[in-house]
Amino acid sequence: MGQTCTTFCGNCTNEVKTIDEDPLGHETPKNNALPSIQKLPETSADYREEIHTKKRNNLKGQASRAEPPPTTYSGDTLEKRGEVELANGARYTGEWLGQERHGYGIQMWKDGSQYKGQWANDKANGHGTLHHADGDVYEGEWKNDKAHGQGTYKHANGAKYDGEWVNDKQHGHGIETWPDRAKYEGEYKNGKKDGKGKLIFADQSQYDGEFRDNEINGFGIYQWTDGKRYEGYWESNKMMGEGELTWKDKKSYNGQFVNDKRNGFGVFKWGDGREYRGQWKDGKQHGPGEFRDRKGETKKGTWVNGKRESWENEK
Of all residues in the chain, what percent carry a pLDDT higher than 90? 72
The residue that leads in pLDDT, 5 or 187, is 187
Element (H, E) at 91: strand 91-97
Per-residue pLDDT band at 315 (split at 50, 70, 90): low
Tens of pLDDT along 195-237?
Answer: 999 999 999 999 999 999 999 999 999 999 999 999 999 999 9
The residue that leads in pLDDT, 29 or 238, is 238
Q: Is the pLDDT of residue 34 over 70?
A: no
Average pLDDT over residues 96-116: 96
Q: Is the pLDDT of residue 43 over 70?
A: no
pLDDT score for 260: 95
Average pLDDT over residues 26-43: 32
Average pLDDT over residues 130-139: 96
pLDDT score for 54: 54
> How many Cα atoms within 13 Å fall on the side-chain side of residue 308?
22
Q: Is the pLDDT of residue 134 over 90?
A: yes
Average pLDDT over residues 62-71: 43
Q: Is the pLDDT of residue 42 over 70?
A: no
- Enumerate residues 6+ apart whose C-beta is below 8 A from 232: 219, 220, 239, 241, 242, 243, 244, 245, 257
Cβ atoms within 10 A of the Cβ of 303, count? 24
Tens of pLDDT along 6-20?
Answer: 222 332 223 223 333
pLDDT score for 77: 86
Per-residue pLDDT band at 313 (split at 50, 70, 90): confident
* DSSP code at position 51: H
Residue type at 10?
A: G
Cα dihedral 298, 300, 305, 306 in deg (nearest 10): -10
**For residue 222, which of 253, 243, 193 has the smallest C-alpha distance?**
243
93, 106 contact by CB (below 8 A): yes
**Residue 29 — φ and ψ, nearest 5°?**
-55, -35
Q: Is the pLDDT of residue 290 over 80?
A: yes
The residue that leads in pLDDT, 312 or 117, is 117
- Enumerate residues 6+ apart whose C-beta is below 8 A from 288: 278, 279, 300, 301, 302, 303
User: To 5 degrees, how large is the angle CA 269–CA 273–CA 277?
Assistant: 40
* DSSP code at position 315: -
